[in-house]
């Protein structure tokens, strides 16, 4: 029977699909093939049966041409670097622009409030002499109230051994409010005033009354701020600008350059938020470290000659160079 325009009537698609499924299943079972065919569900959307299809309308042809034009543009956009960066694979982590390189933190050092890595209490818990040597090469950091960081590498120290040491403030085991920091846990700062105008900074070590004096730093960061601090705290009226090697080449000079005063006495260098110690590059070894007599300890007998001052050989930042000690150390 013909309908309008000579078109064929649509057959019962559901019935035809059931028949085709039965025939395919029977053929598969006959050949011994696994059969995973499932019977079509009732109410499925009918598809045009096999045979000639009606020609598409002009609207359909126009729509298909538009889709073909869009596909190359979509493919190009999909594989562009920007699209790849914005649409990561669900199985892969999203990759963005590489982060700027900076100080890398380590789980083996404490780091309060997101600051850079710092040396913890374990570093300071050693006798004065090995601690004085271990300080060489480490970086002392001072953070000012405005957030400015002043940084310097330790290049010179002195060890004070406690009650037996005639040059130590704790000689004979005496304890006073002034030197209490020397008897506190390792890593405690002992800051004292000399000549009524200058400060010196020490760090307590293992053993009651033992500590390490920080004598000189190699300035690494915040040099202009150091220069301004030295200029404002210098007692002389000289207007000459300080050279870099003059900023921290002495125990009182480095305290001026870092704005260290009596308020830092008895602070914990392993926990304080304004001053701390960071691990530097591998420290000097062997003959690179000079062991010499301490400076300015007066008439203390044999203790005045003991080689308990340590500094980096050849460093221009050292406060006092001992040529004789360098020869004996090198030999």
pLDDT at residue 107 in the model? 32
Predicted confidence at residue 15, as pLDDT, reads 62
106 to 46, 64, 116, 288: CA distances (angstroms): 66, 60, 9, 28
Chain mean position to CA 118: 10
The pLDDT value recorded for residue 299 is 87
Per-residue pLDDT at 233: 81
User: CATH homologous superfamily for 121-283?
Assistant: Methylpurine-DNA glycosylase (MPG) (3.10.300.10)
Q: What tokens appear for 177 in the block?
A: 């409010």
| Helix spans in the chain (H) | 13-31, 58-78, 81-86, 121-124, 128-135, 223-233, 251-257, 323-330
Residues in the chain, pLDDT under 70: 1-116, 235-239, 283, 286, 331
Residues 6+ apart with CB under 8 A from 314: none
Task: Give tens-digit pLDDT for 119-167.
Answer: 999 999 999 999 999 999 999 999 999 999 999 999 999 999 999 999 9
Nearest partner of 246 among 299, 236, 204, judged by Cα: 236
pTM, whole model, 2 decimals?
Answer: 0.65
Q: How many angstroms from the chain centroid is the CA of residue 27?
A: 70
Token digits for 153? 């590498």
One DSSP character per residue, 154-188 reads EEEEEEE-STT-TTSTTGGG---TTTGGGGSSTTB
Q: Convert the pLDDT of each residue in 10-46 to its tens digit.
A: 556 556 665 665 666 665 555 555 555 555 554 444 4
Assess contact for 294 and 309: CB atoms under 8 A: yes
């Amino acid at each position: 029977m013909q309908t309008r325009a000579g078109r064929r009537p649509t057959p019962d698609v559901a019935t035809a699909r059931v028949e085709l499924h039965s025939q395919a299943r029977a053929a598969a079972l006959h050949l011994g093939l696994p059969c995973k065919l499932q019977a079509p569900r009732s109410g499925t959307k009918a598809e045009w049966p096999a045979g000639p299809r009606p020609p598409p309308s002009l609207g359909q042809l126009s729509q298909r041409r538009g889709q073909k034009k869009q596909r190359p543009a979509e493919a190009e956009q999909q594989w562009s670097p920007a699209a790849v960066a914005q649409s990561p694979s669900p199985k892969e982590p999203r990759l963005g622009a590489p982060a700027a390189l900076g100080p890398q933190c380590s789980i083996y050092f404490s780091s309060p409030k997101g600051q850079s890595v710092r040396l913890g209490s374990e570093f300071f818990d050693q006798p004065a002499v090995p601690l004085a040597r271990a300080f060489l090469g480490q970086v002392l950091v001072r953070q000012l109230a405005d957030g400015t960081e002043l940084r310097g590498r330790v290049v010179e120290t002195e060890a004070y051994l406690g009650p037996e040491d005639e040059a130590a403030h704790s000689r004979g085991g005496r304890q006073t409010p002034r030197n209490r920091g020397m008897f506190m846990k390792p890593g405690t700062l002992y800051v004292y005033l000399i000549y009524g105008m200058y400060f010196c900074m020490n760090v307590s070590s293992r053993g009651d009354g033992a500590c390490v004096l920080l004598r000189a730093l190699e300035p690494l960061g915040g040099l202009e701020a150091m220069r301004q601090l030295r200029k404002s705290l210098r007692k002389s009226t000289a207007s000459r600008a300080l050279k870099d090697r003059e900023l921290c080449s002495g125990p009182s000079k480095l305290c001026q350059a870092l704005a260290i005063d009596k308020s830092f006495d008895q602070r914990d260098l392993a926990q304080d938020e304004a001053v701390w110690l960071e691990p530097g590059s591998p420290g000097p070894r062997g003959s690179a470290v000079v062991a010499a007599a301490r400076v300015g300890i007066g008439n203390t007998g044999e203790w005045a000659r003991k080689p308990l001052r340590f500094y980096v050989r050849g460093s221009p930042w050292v406060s006092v160079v001992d040529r004789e000690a360098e020869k004996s150390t090198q030999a």
